[in-house]
């Protein structure tokens, strides 16, 4: 289900909620790990996450509908996780972390 659809359902039902995205790591011994090793799944790129947040930030009111981007694998991924590749991605990662706290990007 798309984030747009989730926000639409929240509004339609006059609900508030928090949507959590965890696209930055692959858990060990998971179907996702198998798909990754077969080349059927790729990790989200920091640049793509940042641009996604910039795009949807214009569409939704994050004061009522909080969005959280999970950035830590908590030791679950055995190293299969998104990490910054350069200084620009480091800056984007910091902006995403700030977004998690402020809901502004």
Mean pLDDT score, 12-23 = 78
- DSSP class per residue in the chain: --HHHHHHHHHHTT--EEEEE--SB--TTSHHHHHHHTTS--PPPHHHHHHHHHHHHTTS-TTTEEEEE----TT-STT-B----SHHHHHHHHHHHHHHHHS--
Q: Please write the tens of the pLDDT for every residue from 5-17.
A: 877 888 888 887 7
**What is the pTM for the complete model shown?**
0.75
Domain count across the chain? 1
For the cut 80, the answer to whether the pLDDT of residue 22 exceeds it is no
Domain membership of residue 52 as a residue range: 3-102
Q: Please write the tens of the pLDDT for every residue from 40-79.
A: 988 888 998 899 888 888 877 777 778 888 887 777 788 8
Q: Quote the pLDDT of residue 63.
A: 75
């Amino acid at each position: 289900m798309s984030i747009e659809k989730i926000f639409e359902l929240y509004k339609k039902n006059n609900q508030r909620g928090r949507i959590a995205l965890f696209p930055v790591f692959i858990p060990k011994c998971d179907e996702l790990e198998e798909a990754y090793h077969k080349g059927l799944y790729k990790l989200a790129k920091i640049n793509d996450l940042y641009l996604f947040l910039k795009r949807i930030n214009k569409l939704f009111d994050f004061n009522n509908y909080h969005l959280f981007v999970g950035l830590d694998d908590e030791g679950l991924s055995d190293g299969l996780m998104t990490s910054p590749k350069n200084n620009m991605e480091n800056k984007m990662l910091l902006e995403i972390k700030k977004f998690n706290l402020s809901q502004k990007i």
